Amino acid sequence: MRRFERYVMRGPSCWIWTGSFYANGYGRISIRGRDVLVHRFAYAEFVGAIPVGSQIDHVCRNRACVNPKHLRLATNKQNNEHQAVRADNRHGFRGVGFNPRTGKYRTRVQHNGREYRAGEHETPELAAEAVRQLRLRLFTHNEYDRKGG
């Protein structure tokens, strides 16, 4: 536990892991010679056991955060529903893309292996609100949209 604490920078909200990371941006720590995801280690140490098949969701959406108050149990479906805007999204809104053929902004949400759309809109902001409303209807584990993200 002391080794864990040595690599944690406790901020007013997030506790940032400053140790080593996997290429996907998640922190790692070696326990008894085996690398484990540091946010899973933090959850198990501070909150409790992680049931088999459960994932740990970062409520703060910061992969480097190990604050147990920002970590919660989730299914794969719930964790996917809580994803952030992709880094390659040039409009800055999750689920919004541009249709060069029509000159409008289109919407797209993936849920349970199906694709849902909320039409095309004149501005990215209008499309973002339409897709947010669609996610609110479809998703059960998405506080980001409920708060007005």
- CATH 3.30.730.10 maps onto the chain at 80-146
pLDDT in the model for residue 87: 46
Interatomic CA distance for residues 34 and 137, integer angstroms: 41
Residues 81-97, buried b or exposed e (16+ Cβ, 10 A)? Answer: bbeebeeeeebebbbbb
Whole-prediction pTM: 0.66
Angle at 72 between CA 50 and CA 83, to 5 degrees: 120
Spelled out in words, what is the top-level CATH class assigned to the domain 80-146? alpha beta
The pLDDT tens digits along the chain (149 residues) read: 788 999 999 999 999 999 999 988 899 999 999 999 999 999 999 999 999 999 998 888 788 999 999 999 988 877 776 665 454 456 668 788 888 889 899 888 888 778 899 999 999 899 989 988 998 888 876 666 776 55
Among 96, 73, 74, which residue's Cα sits nearest to residue 85?
96
Interatomic CA distance for residues 43 and 36, integer angstroms: 12
